[in-house]
Amino acid sequence: MLLSTTSVIPGHEVKEVLGLVRGNTIRAKHLGKDIVAGLRNIVGGELKEYTEMISEAREEAISRMIEEANKMGADAVIGIRITTSQVAQGAAEILAYGTAVKF
């Protein structure tokens, strides 16, 4: 599966647009990681626990988007975007979406 944030992939011609595909996940802060991050927030520096959590969530959302594209028989997903939004205190949704296409 080819993935692109652009609407074209050099060397490939889109023959058919299959439609929107998306994948999402919602993650909440972990109490243990929250305590460590809170201490780091006081002294400054990267909140590695949160960085790791968001990176894992982003990969899960992309994986779910690819799974949906595969079910449609897509060769690629173009125009990929990733958004993040807070859905509750301490919980965030990561959404990956794009257009499934065939070459």
Alpha carbon distance 41, 19 (integer Å) = 42
pTM of the full predicted structure? 0.83
- Output 92 or 60, whichever has higher pLDDT: 60
CA distance 26 to 101: 27
Separation CA 99–CA 4 (nearest Å): 10
> Is pLDDT of 53 > 90?
no
pLDDT at 43: 62
- The H or E element that residue 46 is part of is none
Topology at the third CATH level for domain 2-102: Translation Initiation Factor IF3 (3.30.110)
Q: What is the mean pLDDT of residues 5-27?
A: 96
The letter for the amino acid at 42 is: I
**Residue 88: pLDDT band with limits 50, 70, 90:** confident
